[in-house]
Amino acid sequence: MELIYTNQLEGFDPEKRYRTASLFRGIERDATAVVVVGEHPDIVAAYEAAGVDVSIVETPAPSAVSVPAGLSDALAEEIARLRTENGALILLVDGLEAGEIQRPEVGEIALRLFGVLGTIHTSVRELTTERDGLLVTVDTLRGEVEALKKAAITPPADEAGEIADLKAKLDEAKVPYRANASKDSLEKLVADLPKA
C-alpha cells in the first residue's frame, strides 16, 4: 500500500491514501511505498529504517493571495492563535494517551477541555470510592446473613442437649418424629407418651 504524507487541505486523489504529516506518530506496517510532501525528515528516517521505499516531493509554492493591509495583521494573529491552540490540544491528547492529564499553559479550548476532564476524573474517583464502600457493606451483610443462618440451624448448646434427651426418650418408646423437629414439638410428643 502506498501512503502519501502531506499537510495539504484540498486536491486529494480518491484513488490514493493520505496521512497528515504533522500528526505522524509512527510508521504503518502495511506500507510498501511512501511519498512525503515537504520537509519531514522524521517520517523519511522512520520509513527508511523499516526498509520502505520513500520519495520526497517539494511542497508546492503557495499561490499569491491579495489580502488588504489591515486584514493581513489580523489574519496572521488568528493563524498564530490557532497554531497555539492546536499545539495545546495535541499536548493534552498526548498526555491523555500516556495515561496522565497535564494542564496546558495556553489555549482557551485546551484549558476548558482540561477543566472538563478534571471534573470527569473527580466524578469517576468519587464513584469508585462509593462502589468500594458498597462492596464492603455487601461483604459485611453477607457475613451477617451467614451468621444468622448458622444461628437458625444450630440450636444453643444447652438446648441441643435437651433436644437430644427428648429424642432419646421418643426413640426408646419407638415414637416416630421428624429429624428437624423443634424442641416444642418434641416436648409435646414426650408429654403424650403413655405413663408407665
**pLDDT, one tens digit for every residue, the chain (196 residues):** 899 999 888 888 888 999 998 889 899 988 999 999 989 999 999 999 999 999 999 876 655 556 666 677 788 888 888 888 888 888 888 777 777 777 888 888 888 888 888 888 889 889 988 888 887 788 888 888 888 887 776 666 678 888 888 999 999 889 899 988 888 899 998 898 876 4
Q: Strand 33-37 and strand 2-6: pairing?
A: parallel
The β-bridge partners of 2 are 33
Instruction: Give residue for cell 493591509.
Output: 69
Residues in the chain: 196
Element (H, E) at 35: strand 33-37
Q: Where are the domains of the chain?
A: 2-57, 77-146, 155-191
Phi, psi of 90 (to 5 degrees): -65, -40
Amino acid present at 76: A
Q: Among 124, 125, 144, 147, which Cα is nearest to 136's? A: 144
Element (H, E) at 57: strand 53-57
